[in-house]
Structure 1
Amino acid sequence: MDFRLKTLTAHAAASQEADALVFVWPDAADAADPAQADALTVWARQALADGDLKREPGQWLAAHRLPGVRPRRIVLVRCGDGSARRVRQAVAAALGALQGGAPVRRLVLQLGALPAPAVAAAVLGVAAASYRYTTTLSKPQPRALEVVTVGVADDAAARAAFEQAVATVRGQEVAKEWANRPANHATPTHLAEAALGLAGRGIDVEVLGPKEVAKLGMGALLAVAQGSRQPLRFIVLRYRGAPKSVAPVVLIGKGITFDTGGISLKPAAEMDEMKFDMSGAASVLGTFEALAHLRPALNVVGLIPACENMPGGGAVKPGDVVTSLSGQTIEILNTDAEGRLILCDALTYAQRFAPRAVIDVATLTGACVIALGHVRSGLFASDDALAQALLDAGEAAADPCWRMPLDDEYGEALKTSFADVANVGGRAAGVVTAAKFLQRFVGDTPWAHLDIAGTAWKSGKDKGATGRPVPLLVRYLLDEAQRAASAPPVPRQRRRRTSDGA
């Protein structure tokens, strides 16, 4: 889809060549100068005066072949206070109103004097409402929308927010695509190929296979992968937007391309949704897609440990003890707690980059869904400044998270007599004990963990990936680039020798 930003008055918007026009109307416009005489505004004011359009955000009124308006279909939609949340709600309602008729290929979205955050929200709203998954359909019906012209009062003032939103859309749709693909169309090898497709766009890519991972000593990742015929992949992406001397942010995405639970087999009902268990990996790929468009002055490393969790004859068994890359031994009491196993080796590997911050993203626990539902992602952080930066980014990007505790006492549940740590505790505070397990492999680096089990996809009739938390991550990285530009550089720390000799 081609997004375009233009300075347009209501009269100019009504003169555009398009199949449909969405006229977004904030409450503040009710009291604006009634002397405006263009056909679109006169029609809108008359509808309001007649009581044909309620004040609630998302309420809409449609017309066809309105005199003086070139697009054949018009939707007038309320957006309340004009906030990003209300504008996105309004855009979704308006796109819904356009469903069912002749295809709309060219759309004008008239926002007028709404602020820059609302412009970004509108772009994201159009993309979300028009997205279609088509890869494995025999007769795909792609989205009808081809060109969306966003009309604003001043395109220069909205340009930066608009471009960030368009790049976020590109990244979010990469994340949706790979999370939505069935597991036989999104194996670890396929994910590696997708990552290699980013190479040459300001991004370097390295892919490690089973032999390289074994040589490194990633025993936890190898243990999860050993029950599958699909070979594991460990993907390393590097975006260099700043001098090499500037410490990078490291993003780690859980890449379980299908999760049966292993020997601790999951129930059959809805197991198909475990193709979404690599949504963390998909979000890292999507974030790097956005970085390729935006080119912020920041260094970013992406790490994706990718494998299947299968109950084959060679699968790891409950009670097995493995040695992680950090040298710590782990008793695997439940093979369905596999995400933390592949992440712990990636967290240790991340230390070789001497990062300024490490953020892992994972569909890690059902307990997070119980705690927070499907609205906010769970956030755990060892550093208050990092936590606040992610919370702020989530609110600004309409991709919110909520900080959860990391008290040392929660780690007591992971004690075992047979290894340094068990991979699960009891049922109590399962989302927290999973984070406490990961924290053991972080060291002193500022670290955050995003549990996206409740936000990465939707079930039911709207089943599909959401592309979260790509908007949060992109906004955080852009904010981090600004902070880095205005602060003394964070030098790379001296590399400490680990058990693998790095």
Structure 2
Amino acid sequence: MEFSIKSGNPEKQRSACVVVGVFEPRKLTLAAELIDNAARSHLSDIIRRGDMEGKAGTTLLLHNVPGTLCDRVLLVGLGKEKEFGDREYCDAIRSAVRTLNETGSFDGTVFLTETSVRKRSAAWRVRQAALVAQQTVYRFDQFKSKKDKVRRPLRKLTFIVDRRNELAVAEEALCEGQAIAEGMSLAKDLANLPGNVCTPSFLAETAQKLAEEHLMECQILEREEMAALGMHALLSVAQSSHQAPKLIVLQYKGGKSDEKPVVLVGKGVTFDSGGISLKPAPEMDEMKYDMCGAASVLGTIKAAALMKLPLNLTVIVPSTENMPGGGASRPGDIVTSMSGQTIEILNTDAEGRLILCDALTYAARFEPDTVIDVATLTGACVVALGHVATGLFANNDTLARELENAGDEAHDRAWQMPLWNDYQELLKSPFADMANIGGRWGGSITAACFLARFTKKYVWAHLDIAGTAWTSGTEKGATGRPVPLLMHYLLKRAGKLK
């Protein structure tokens, strides 16, 4: 989709559709008032008759509005003005774009970006609008022999800012929103692919293509190289799969040569059967999404490269399948991690932490400023936080606050969970340095405590996205989270967030 920024009056826009808002109950926004004045109270008359109350999520498409130069005017309900915040704004943009795309409006001029949102700048409104717009028209239908075609799909959106002196900042924010949306689309594409296509080798090839396109450095470690490094925890998960495991390292160097990188580690289990501790059959198809951590960090580095952020960023993806079979790890097996610590595997379905612990140990060689791992790690996190917030754990409170703030800014929220040593007791094993599970209670916390044992050399955070990485049901699909959170964190670090 093509985007642009401009400033101007709504009644003077030559467009297929001008989009303005209506608050509940029946209160026109400034842009809607200007159209109403030019149209000699045409909008007021319609609203007075009860066609539009302004309830959130509602739309009303008007044709041939007098006094305007556009073909149509789309009224979008914004809900109550006092309650109009981040979520309501994003929902309004989503409703507008969906309606434009479904009603044959080839292009649209959106005045919702002029509407005030509590504590948010014009740059924020434009950035979010671009991101939400692209994600609203996102489709994953490459495996359908007959695709659902939109008759006249939306091709161009113009976002309006109310002051000309905001145009330059808005243009920059527009580019940022587009880049984040492209990163999210990559993450969603990778996650939505079936496990027979998106294998560890496929992820490695994707990383190599990203490196070629954006002048990054890429290294792929094979099974033999991982064995030589002592990554036996990671390899224990891979040992029953016919797909070769890969350790993917992708480096974006946009900062100074001596600047320490931010390292993102993404869990890349391309299909998780549970191994010997086999998962139940219902909804096991969704275990193709167990590589959403990997998909999100690859999407993030793509977005950072598109923005040309002035920082250094390294992505590490440990990737494998977790399959049953004669060569699979057994409950009770003991393996030695790259760090030298031994692990008793009590449940082979707690495999994500086994591949992450070796990747986190490997991350130390980059002398990182900060390490953040992203993983669909525990069902317990879904029980704790549902599908709204990502679970956040950190060994540094400053980093935790920065990530929480980035999530709030991006409307991709995370909630900090405890990482107290009290929970470490649950990981005790009579036969090894630790067990890979801590029992039924506090499962997301004990999983994070397990990872914390491998991250003592640097500042670290863990994002458990098991509840936020994809949706189930009729609207099944990857969400692209937490790419927005990570990108707003990086934008803030780079001094670019306005």
State TM-score, norm by structure 2: 0.91
Residue 204 (1) aligns with residue 217 (2): yes
* Corresponding residue to 1:131 among 138, 155, 165: 138
* Corresponding residue to 2:129 among 122, 130, 134: 122
Report the Cα offset of residue 98 of structure 1.
4.4
Query: Is contact 1:377-1:452 (8 Å) kept?
Result: yes
SS in 2 for 1:417: coil
In structure 2, the CA distance between the partners of 1:255 and 1:67, relative to structure 1 (3 Å rule), is same
Greater Cα shift, 257-266 or 210-219: 210-219
SS in 1 for 2:236: helix
Q: Give, in whole Å, the separation in 2 of the partners of 1:38 and 1:314.
A: 75
* Corresponding residue to 1:468 among 473, 478, 481: 481
* Corresponding residue to 1:149 among 158, 161, 173: 158
* Corresponding residue to 2:20 among 20, 23, 27: 23
Report the Cα offset of residue 29 of structure 1.
5.2
1:107 paired residue number: 108
2:119 paired residue number: none
Report the Cα offset of residue 322 of structure 1.
0.7
Q: Give, in whole Å, the separation in 1 of the partners of 2:343 and 2:402.
A: 32
Q: How does 1:42-441 map to 2 (within 5 A)?
A: 42-69=41-68, 71-80=70-79, 81=81, 83-98=85-100, 101=103, 103-111=104-112, 113-114=114-115, 115-141=122-148, 144-154=153-163, 155-200=167-212, 201-441=214-454
State the Cα deviation string for residues 346-368 of structure 1 (Å, max 9, x = none).
Answer: 10000001111110000000000
SS in 1 for 2:391: strand
State the Cα deviation string for residues 121-168 of structure 1 (Å, max 9, x = none).
Answer: 222222222111022222334673332222322422422322211111
Report the Cα offset of residue 64 of structure 1.
2.9
CA RMSD between the two structures: 2.3
SS in 2 for 1:243: coil
User: Which amino acid in 1 is paired with 2:484?
Assistant: P
Q: Which runs of 5+ in 2 are unaligned?
A: 116-121
Query: Is contact 1:88-1:124 (8 Å) kept?
Result: no
Q: Give, in whole Å, the separation in 1 of the partners of 2:401 and 2:291.
A: 26
Q: Give, in whole Å, the separation in 1 of the partners of 2:433 and 2:180.
A: 41
Q: Give, in whole Å, the separation in 1 of the partners of 2:149 and 2:246.
A: 31
2:472 paired residue number: 459
Report the Cα offset of residue 421 of structure 1.
0.7
Q: Give, in whole Å, the separation in 1 of the partners of 2:406 and 2:320.
A: 30
Query: Is contact 2:275-2:324 (8 Å) kept?
Result: yes
Q: Give, in whole Å, the separation in 2 of the partners of 1:47 and 1:167.
A: 39
Report the Cα offset of residue 37 of structure 1.
6.4
Residue 12 (1) aligns with residue 12 (2): yes
Report the Cα offset of residue 21 of structure 1.
3.6
Report the Cα offset of residue 104 of structure 1.
4.0
Q: Give, in whole Å, the separation in 2 of the partners of 1:373 and 1:33.
A: 38
User: Which amino acid in 1 is paired with 2:74?
Assistant: V
Report the Cα offset of residue 312 of structure 1.
2.0
Q: Give, in whole Å, the separation in 2 of the partners of 1:89 and 1:290.
A: 23
In structure 2, the CA distance between the partners of 1:272 and 1:126, relative to structure 1 (3 Å rule), is same
Q: Give, in whole Å, the separation in 1 of the partners of 2:159 and 2:200.
A: 38
Q: Give, in whole Å, the separation in 2 of the partners of 1:316 and 1:41.
A: 75
State the Cα deviation string for residues 27-77 of structure 1 (Å, max 9, x = none).
Answer: 785578967666579544443444432233333222234345555443211
Q: Which runs of 5+ in 1 are unaligned?
A: 486-502
Q: Give, in whole Å, the separation in 2 of the partners of 1:401 and 1:76.
A: 33
Q: Give, in whole Å, the separation in 1 of the partners of 2:32 and 2:376.
A: 51
Report the Cα offset of residue 216 of structure 1.
1.4
SS in 2 for 1:235: strand
In structure 2, the CA distance between the partners of 1:423 and 1:372, relative to structure 1 (3 Å rule), is same
Greater Cα shift, 82-91 or 215-224: 82-91
